[in-house]
Amino acid sequence: MSRSEYTFTSESVSEGHPDKVCDRISDAVLDAFLAEDPQARVACETFATTDRVVIGGEVRGPGKVIQAVEEIARQCVRDIGYEQKGFHWANVQVSNYLHAQSADIAQGVDASGNKDEGAGDQGIMFGYACDETPELMPAPIHYAHAILKKLAEVRKNSTEPKLGPDMKSQLSLRYEGGKPVEATSLVLSTQHLDPSLSSDDVRAIVEPYIRSILPEDWLTDSTEWWINPTGKFVIGGPDGDAGLTGRKIIVDTYGGAAPHGGGAFSGKDPTKVDRSAAYAARYLAKNVVAAGLAKRCTLQLSYAIGVSKPLSIYVDTHGTGEVAEAQIEKAVAKAMDLTPRGIRTHLEMNKPIYQRTAAYGHFGRAPEDDGGFSWEKVDLVEALKAAI
């Protein structure tokens, strides 16, 4: 039996967080390659610290994109909003160490003769969905993202010019009967550009926006508010703490409410099953819940490098299923081709759609007309019902 009475916490970080700056740059490089060549191979890592961005990794695609990497990085930093001493888009030193993809990896992944395209690596990937929110996401991570996204909006449109790009949120929700009913605590640390602001001053700025995001009855007299608890947050971004691609994998997914296979997403083209199969697992889990087959669904896929078909499919409905998990496992395998090529084709993933995923979560977002967040569609509902 699943627990029905508990408190659960998730955190989010903004686009200006040092690790998210790096995720953004890595995904912007990926998008630049895919815009020129939909079959490009990219594994791009970024490191950022005071006045410096270092980019490296393996790529296969147009050489002119490699030449544009420095400008791509600067435009990312500029859009995020860093124009501060110690990290300014115009002055930061950018080092580019991208090089050709390993021939050994390419040999295992590429299709040839009767061999279909294989997975880019071995690994396990998890997808998850639940009926706590209309987006079928866990409520703590969904609202932690929403708070920061709103604050980024009012910062960037100059409604709140005293806020800086670097922010973190953390939300603890109390559950009754398996549903969130109250925010027991709320933590928000936000960079502020005016050094004279106190924690109370910052709270006065951000509280109305937080209240506009959370359901009204969740904030009670018992809710603990922790706004800039250290008292001052002026030095932010990579100048305050170094950043690295792929260090926020729990923020990127389900906020700890579901297992994680361990592979990061940003900077990886969709032949890498760390990314594409994790998106497919979310897609399938979401459609299972949307179809009414369960209130919660965890779905695991596993792959071997160079092998096209998944080695295993596992489903857990946490005691909420309307049918046996084994039936759902067979149904999802029938409803979707889960080879790397099949996933990319079904979800139309060979497009420059990844930079937008780098902050505020890869899941729970609305599908977009150009193919962005295609893994959030619920267009498999009827196919799953039919297969069951």
pLDDT digits (tens, 9 = 90+) for 158-195: 999 999 999 999 999 999 999 999 999 999 999 999 99
Options 8, 11, 15, 17, the catalytic residue: 17
Is position 19 annotated as part of the catalytic site? yes
233 belongs to the catalytic site: yes
Task: Pick the catalytic residue from 248, 282, 286, 295.
Answer: 248
pLDDT, tens digit, 9 for 90 and up, residues 277-299: 999 999 999 999 999 999 999 99
Q: Which of 51, 116, 131, 242 is catalytic?
A: 242
State the chain's mean pLDDT as an integer. Answer: 95
Q: Which residues are annotated as a binding site for Mg(2+)?
A: 19
**Annotated binding-site residue numbers for K(+):** 45
Q: Identify whether 17 is a catalytic site residue.
A: yes
pLDDT in tens, 349-365: 999 999 999 999 999 99
| Residue 274 annotated as catalytic | yes
Residue 4: is its pLDDT beyond 90? no
Same CATH fold assignment for domains 6-12+139-235 and 123-131+273-387:
yes
**Which whole number is the average pLDDT over 188-216?**
97
How large is the average pLDDT for residues 220-226?
A: 97
119 pLDDT tier (thresholds 50, 70, 90): confident
pLDDT at 3: 80
Confidence of residue 61 (pLDDT cuts 50, 70, 90): very high
Q: 123-131+273-387 architecture in CATH? A: 2-Layer Sandwich (3.30)
Q: Where are the domains of the chain?
A: 6-12+139-235, 123-131+273-387
User: Has domain 6-12+139-235 been given CATH number 3.30.300.10?
Assistant: yes
Per the DSSP assignment, residues forming a β-bridge with 8 are 173
Please tell me which residue in 247, 282, 344, 346 is annotated as part of the active site: 247
Catalytic residue among 192, 268, 282, 296: 268
Residue 268 appears among annotated catalytic residues: yes
- The pLDDT of residue 108 is 59
Q: Which of 12-16, 102-106, 352-356 has the lowest mean pLDDT?
A: 102-106
- Cα angle: 219, vertex 220, 223; to 5 degrees: 80
Known binding-site positions: 17, 19, 45, 58, 101, 166-168, 232-233, 241, 247-248, 264, 268, 272
Per the residue annotation, which of 11, 45, 132, 252 is the catalytic one?
A: 45
Q: What is the pLDDT of residue 49?
A: 98
Considering the candidates 241, 322, 329, 337, report the single residue annotated as catalytic.
241
Residue ranges of the binding site for L-methionine: 58, 101, 241, 272
58 assigned to active site:
yes
Question: Does the annotation count 248 as an active-site position?
Answer: yes
pLDDT of residue 103: 60
- Give the active site residue among 19, 132, 252, 316: 19
Binding positions for ATP are 17, 166-168, 232-233, 241, 247-248, 264, 268
